[in-house]
């Protein structure tokens, strides 16, 4: 991650940068452990500077620290004849550091990045600076680079504020920091898509809380990733670098806390809130006490995940729960990779793993969701059977009646004696079990509203009494597809609308069972 680095990690990162650059193009850059001369700029405020003064000292380049001070930095850039011929003009001096700066190459002033100076006078420069270098300014042999640096507007003190110094082809100031931006943009798109998907799913009533947590996890990961690659995409002044690091840690903490909440909701039966509060407090304390923002960012996710592993493992052991065991293995592998790659756990690996972790959690969530749907469907079928039985018992104990007015008289019909009803224009024919017929002065829809729930609409022209149904018959025709009919107790057959076949099959099965 492009955050504060320990000396070991900084050296490794710088070596990788150098090897990558050298494999693609010529680059002139000093070694991180190269000895450089540093002088206090409050004693010698103006150029030229006497670097042989007793107040000056030699330190390794990796240890140069302009935070809270103003200093002069002198270093040597050796250039071979081969390098000079390989360099493609125009050239630029790249200075990626948390500081304002003013650069001189072989006595020539290249320009300013902000304005270095004491606290009242400093103008903050960009985190990543670029200075044009005339080709004829470079010499075969040793070239002297002098940089005046200051960082008086820092919120935090970072262990290694100077990230890269080198001369190369003129390009964007972040040229040496954006190798992975294209891949990261792809992952960013995946995370934002996941955020939208889970946010929409959270609008449904089923598993709303868990879908909301997955949406927040995806969002926090996406925002953290965007903050990470933001340095490669945008130029910003060096004081904002501290804010950016703080934002990255905050998003990492948000992701970890949501993960812990999700695991406790799934696998903790009692005192779940207490575990969440305890995990949040322990993580926050660790983040505050641990040095270095790269370590803070990792700890903000590592600590909640470690507690999540413990909770999932405990539930899996006590309940012999396979889902808890699978979650334990997945999170444990993630933690193991973090531990094994602690010295070079950069943003590509981290966010690839985060995306894979979200994918695993999504698959587990989908499996739980499908199981919940199946259970709800079974419950609905049981409720439907119970409701139908209650309706039948009620009809047998106190049969429903239907009043039909015609020719100045009113016929009263016991609904249990109705076999089926058939649409006849603006009227409906009521067919009784004894073969008689009555004419109802209304549509089949009106008649359906007056009959008990033991009657089912099986076709736009037929309404059948389920108690009179003995069998549902289906057949398949290559030209017309599936067809179905109901066989009644009196031997009559009624057609079933193709789109209603599943509902009729379920109702008939419930009735027969």
> What would the pLDDT profile of 13-33 be if each residue is shown by its tens digit?
444 444 444 334 458 888 888
Q: Is residue 502 part of a domain?
A: yes
Q: Please state, in angstroms and rounded to a whole number, the distance separating the CA atoms of residues 259 and 366.
A: 17
Q: Is the pLDDT of residue 151 over 90?
A: yes
- Give me the chain's average pLDDT, please: 84
Q: Are residues 166 and 262 in the same domain?
A: no
Q: Taking a C-beta distance cutoff of 8 angstroms, is the pair 403, 410 a contact?
A: yes
Q: Are residues 229 and 351 in the same domain?
A: yes
Q: Is residue 1 part of a domain?
A: no
Q: Are residues 143 and 158 in the same domain?
A: yes
Q: Taking a C-beta distance cutoff of 8 angstroms, is the pair 434, 417 a contact?
A: yes
Give Rg (Cα) of the chain: 38
Q: Is residue 38 part of a domain?
A: yes
**What 3-state DSSP class applies to 124?**
coil
Please report, rounded to a whole number, the percentage of residues in the chain having pLDDT higher than 70: 85
pLDDT for position 7: 44
Q: Please state, in angstroms and rounded to a whole number, the distance separating the CA atoms of residues 503 and 270.
A: 41
H/E stretch holding 358 reads helix 347-397
- Strand-by-strand arrangement of the 469-477 sheet: 469-477, 481-488, 493-496
pLDDT for position 222: 93
**Domains in the chain, number:** 3
pLDDT for position 11: 46
pTM value > 0.75: no
Q: Decide which of 505 and 166 is more confident.
A: 166
Q: Is the pLDDT of residue 353 over 60?
A: yes
Q: What one-character DSSP code corresponds to residue 204?
A: S
Q: Is the pLDDT of residue 382 over 90?
A: no
Q: Please state, in angstroms and rounded to a whole number, the distance separating the CA atoms of residues 93 and 77.
A: 11
Highest mean pLDDT among 222-236, 304-318, 404-418, 496-510: 304-318
Q: Decide which of 479 and 65 is more confident.
A: 65
pLDDT for position 312: 93
Average pLDDT over residues 68-97: 92
Q: Please state, in angstroms and rounded to a whole number, the distance separating the CA atoms of residues 339 and 356.
A: 18
Q: Are residues 231 and 356 in the same domain?
A: yes
**What 3-state DSSP class applies to 170?**
coil
H/E stretch holding 327 reads helix 322-340
**What 3-state DSSP class applies to 171?**
coil
Q: Are residues 47 and 102 in the same domain?
A: yes
Q: Is the pLDDT of residue 313 over 60?
A: yes
Q: Please state, in angstroms and rounded to a whole number, the distance separating the CA atoms of residues 340 and 49.
A: 46
Q: Is residue 370 part of a domain?
A: no
pLDDT for position 97: 93
Average pLDDT over residues 335-364: 76
Q: Is the pLDDT of residue 394 over 90?
A: no
Highest mean pLDDT among 232-246, 388-402, 471-485: 232-246
Q: Are residues 199 and 292 in the same domain?
A: yes
- Strand-by-strand arrangement of the 418-424 sheet: 437-440, 427-432, 418-424, 462-465, 455-459
* Residue 232 lies in domain: 181-360
Q: Is residue 388 part of a domain?
A: no
Structure-block tokens of residue 57: 């000292």
Q: Taking a C-beta distance cutoff of 8 angstroms, is the pair 152, 71 a contact?
A: no
Q: Is the pLDDT of residue 4 over 50?
A: no
Q: What one-character DSSP code corresponds to residue 62?
A: G
**Which residue among 345, 360, 375 closes a domain?**
360
Q: Is residue 383 part of a domain?
A: no
Window from 37-41, 261-265, 474-478 with minimum mean pLDDT: 474-478
pLDDT for position 380: 67
| In the block, residue with structure tokens 């949040």 | 280
CATH number at 454 reads: 2.40.50.1020
Average pLDDT over residues 311-324: 90
Q: Are residues 140 and 252 in the same domain?
A: no
CA–chain centroid gap for 337, Å, is 20
Which among 207, 201, 202 is positioned nearest to 372, based on CA atoms? 207
Q: Is the pLDDT of residue 43 over 50?
A: yes
pLDDT for position 285: 96
Instruction: Output 112-121 pairs: Cβ under 8 A, ≥24 positions apart.
Output: 114/237, 114/238, 116/41, 116/66, 116/70, 116/148, 116/149, 116/150, 117/41, 117/70, 117/150, 117/152, 118/42, 118/70, 118/150, 118/152, 119/152, 119/153
Q: Is residue 365 part of a domain?
A: no
Q: Is the pLDDT of residue 273 over 50?
A: yes
- Beta bridge partner(s), residue 486: 472, 494
Q: Please state, in angstroms and rounded to a whole number, the distance separating the CA atoms of residues 193 and 187.
A: 10
Could you tell me the pLDDT band of residue 233, with boundaries at 50, 70 and 90?
Answer: confident
Q: Are residues 164 and 186 in the same domain?
A: no
Summarised one tens digit per residue, pLDDT across range 423-477 is 998 889 999 998 899 998 888 988 888 888 788 888 889 999 988 888 888 877 6
Could you tell me the pLDDT band of residue 202, with boundaries at 50, 70 and 90?
Answer: confident
Q: Taking a C-beta distance cutoff of 8 angstroms, is the pair 338, 345 a contact?
A: yes
Q: Please state, in angstroms and rounded to a whole number, the distance separating the CA atoms of residues 173 and 180.
A: 15
Q: Are residues 267 and 310 in the same domain?
A: yes
Q: What share of the chain is helix, strand, coil (3-state, %, to 5)?
A: 50, 25, 25
Kindly report the number of other CB atoms within 10 A of residue 388's CB atom: 19
**Which residue among 303, 334, 360 closes a domain?**
360
Q: Is residue 441 part of a domain?
A: yes
Highest mean pLDDT among 68-72, 160-164, 358-362, 409-413: 68-72
Q: Are residues 197 and 167 in the same domain?
A: no
Q: Are residues 225 and 344 in the same domain?
A: yes
Kindly report the number of other CB atoms within 10 A of residue 334's CB atom: 19
**Which residue among 360, 391, 417 closes a domain?**
360
Q: Please state, in angstroms and rounded to a whole number, the distance separating the CA atoms of residues 248 and 352.
A: 16
Q: Are residues 172 and 298 in the same domain?
A: no
Average pLDDT over residues 501-510: 76
Q: Please state, in angstroms and rounded to a whole number, the distance separating the CA atoms of residues 326 and 316.
A: 9
Q: Decide which of 1 and 340 is more confident.
A: 340
Q: Decide which of 441 and 508 is more confident.
A: 441
Q: Please state, in angstroms and rounded to a whole number, the distance separating the CA atoms of residues 191 and 502.
A: 39
CATH number at 128 reads: 2.60.120.260
Which among 1, 17, 5 is positioned nearest to 346, based on CA atoms? 1
Please report, rounded to a whole number, the percentage of residues in the chain having pLDDT higher than 90: 42
Provide the residue count of the chain.
Answer: 513
């Amino acid at each position: 991650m492009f955050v504060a680095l320990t000396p070991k990690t900084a050296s490794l990162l710088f070596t990788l940068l150098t090897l990558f650059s050298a494999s693609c193009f010529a680059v002139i850059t000093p070694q991180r452990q190269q000895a450089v001369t540093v002088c206090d700029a409050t004693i010698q405020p103006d150029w030229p500077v006497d670097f042989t003064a007793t107040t000056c000292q030699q330190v390794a380049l990796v240890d140069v620290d302009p935070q809270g001070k103003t200093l002069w930095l002198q270093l040597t850039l050796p250039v071979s004849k081969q390098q000079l011929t390989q360099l493609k003009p125009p050239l630029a001096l790249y200075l990626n550091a948390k500081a304002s700066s003013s650069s001189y190459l072989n006595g020539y002033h290249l320009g300013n990045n902000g304005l270095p100076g004491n606290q009242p006078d400093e103008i903050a420069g960009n985190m990543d600076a670029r200075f044009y270098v005339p080709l004829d300014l470079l010499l075969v042999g040793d070239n002297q680079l002098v940089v005046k640096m200051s960082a008086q507007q820092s919120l935090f003190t970072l262990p290694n504020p100077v990230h890269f110094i080198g001369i190369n082809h003129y390009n964007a100031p972040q040229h040496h920091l954006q190798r992975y931006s294209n891949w990261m943009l792809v992952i960013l798109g995946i995370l934002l898509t996941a955020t939208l998907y889970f946010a929409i799913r959270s609008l449904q009533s089923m598993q709303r809380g868990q879908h909301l947590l997955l949406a927040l996890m995806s969002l926090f990961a996406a925002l953290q990733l965007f903050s990470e690659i933001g340095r490669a995409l945008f130029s910003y002044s060096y004081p904002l670098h501290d804010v950016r690091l703080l934002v990255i840690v905050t998003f990492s903490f948000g992701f970890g806390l949501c993960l812990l909440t999700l695991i406790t909701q799934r696998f903790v039966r009692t005192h779940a809130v207490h575990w969440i509060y305890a995990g949040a407090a322990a993580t926050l304390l660790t983040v505050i006490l641990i040095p270095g923002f790269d370590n803070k960012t990792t700890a903000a996710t590592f600590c909640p995940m470690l507690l999540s592993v413990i909770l999932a493992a405990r539930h899996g052991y006590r309940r012999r729960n396979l889902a808890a065991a699978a979650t334990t293995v997945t999170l444990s592998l993630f933690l193991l990779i973090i531990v094994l790659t602690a010295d070079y756990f950069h943003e590509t690996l981290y966010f690839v793993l985060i995306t894979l972790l979200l994918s695993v959690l999504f698959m587990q969530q989908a499996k739980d969701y499908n199981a919940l749907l199946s259970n709800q469907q079974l419950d609905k079928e049981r409720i439907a059977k119970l409701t139908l039985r209650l309706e039948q018992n009620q009809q047998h104990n106190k049969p429903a009646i239907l009043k039909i007015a015609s020719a100045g008289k009113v016929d009263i019909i016991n609904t249990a004696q109705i076999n089926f009803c058939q649409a006849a224009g603006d009227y409906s024919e009521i067919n009784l079990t004894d073969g008689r017929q009555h004419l109802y002065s209304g549509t089949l829809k009106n008649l359906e509203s007056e009959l008990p729930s033991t009657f089912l609409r099986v076709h736009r022209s037929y309404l059948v009494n389920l108690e009179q149904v003995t069998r549902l018959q289906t057949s398949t025709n290559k030209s017309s597809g599936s067809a179905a009919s109901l066989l009644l107790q009196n031997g009559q057959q009624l057609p079933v609308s193709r789109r209603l076949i599943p509902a009729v099959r379920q109702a008939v099965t419930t009735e027969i069972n």
